[in-house]
Amino acid sequence: MPHYDVDGVQLEYAWHGPQPDQAPTIVFLHEGLGCVSMWRDFPAELAAATGLGALVYSRRGYGTSDPCELLRQPDFMHVEGLEVLPRLVEVAGLREFLLVGHSDGASIALVYAGNPTGYGYQGLRGVMVEAPHVMVEEISVQGIKQARQAFENGDLRQRLERHHGDNVDCAFYGWSLVWLENDFCEFNIEEYVARIEVPLQVIQGEGDDYGTPEQLATIGRVLGEGAELNMWPDCGHAPHQERPEEVLAAMTRFIGESLG
């Protein structure tokens, strides 16, 4: 797998479809335990459906990217959205682009999009997020505690190791420990959501075990009619895995409207 050098840090990436000088690019931001390979075929399918390029990358500490230091700081999603992602946009040579974010990646996408005067923002044309965290809820904390039990006493370590290899501890503890620190309860990105100026699509499952409908409702209150909000029944925390055809259709339509 190739890597980008972003300020001395090697970040794993995969590319599907046209290059940035040929078409806009969809950038995929993975969940708290994700990486390039854990998106499976979805980025390639969305690229094919839209005719756009797709850039999928693993954040530091995930996949085959460089390892991270533990413990991450409570502002790690802000750092990713305000510092790392803008530099990646530059290094990858992106011109016009859209973001697709899942869970922690969704929050990072919202932070990036909510900084419209920031560095590297000018080419952003739209944002699609699944199961975003706008603030910390007890359901998220409890879900992470259960995941820690599965990692330390079940088979979750082995399943994640297939994707993260030597980074498996960085990936799991880099995600879980910071969420379980007391300081992280103050995490809130409503101020960034309020400043988003590009089209925004949000998809959340009613059965999401890491967030309640209050996440979606908060975005609605902050942006009013400025976002497309979708609460789907019979769906959990990962809509693109649980209802892939419907998510593919919804995002393809949204991209067409955003670029049209």
Q: Are 101 and 29 in contact (CB under 8 A)?
A: yes
Determine whether 215 is exposed, middle or buried from the number of CB atoms within 10 Å of its CB (0-12, 13-18, 19+).
buried
Look at residue 60 in the predicted model and tell me its pLDDT: 98
Q: 239-250 burial string, b = 16+ CB within 10 Å, else e?
A: bbbebbeebbeb
User: Residues 216, 79, 45, CA angle at the centre, nearest 5°?
Assistant: 60
- What is the domain count for the chain? 1
Q: Quick check: helix, strand or coil at residue 132?
A: coil
What are the φ and ψ backbone dihedral angles of 61, each rounded to 5 degrees? Answer: 95, 0
Determine whether 96 is exposed, middle or buried from the number of CB atoms within 10 Å of its CB (0-12, 13-18, 19+).
middle
Measured distance CA(44)–CA(26) in Å, rounded: 10
Amino acid letter, residue 195: R
Which residue range forms the structural domain that includes residue 21?
A: 3-259
User: Residues 255, 259, 260, CA angle at the centre, nearest 5°?
Assistant: 110
Measured distance CA(59)–CA(33) in Å, rounded: 10
Written as six digits, the tokens of 126 are 């739209």
Written as six digits, the tokens of 8 are 């001395």
Residue 245: which CATH number? 3.40.50.1820
Distance of CA 182 to the CA centre of its chain: 23
What would the pLDDT profile of 146-188 be if each residue is shown by its tens digit?
A: 999 999 999 999 999 999 999 999 999 999 999 998 889 999 9
Helices 138-153 and 168-180 cross at an angle (nearest 10°) of 150
Look at residue 224 in the predicted model and tell me its pLDDT: 83
Judge if pTM exceeds 0.85: yes
The residue ranges of the chain whose pLDDT is under 50 are none
Measured distance CA(244)–CA(151) in Å, rounded: 26
Look at residue 116 in the predicted model and tell me its pLDDT: 77
The helix (run of H) or strand (run of E) holding residue 202 is strand 200-205
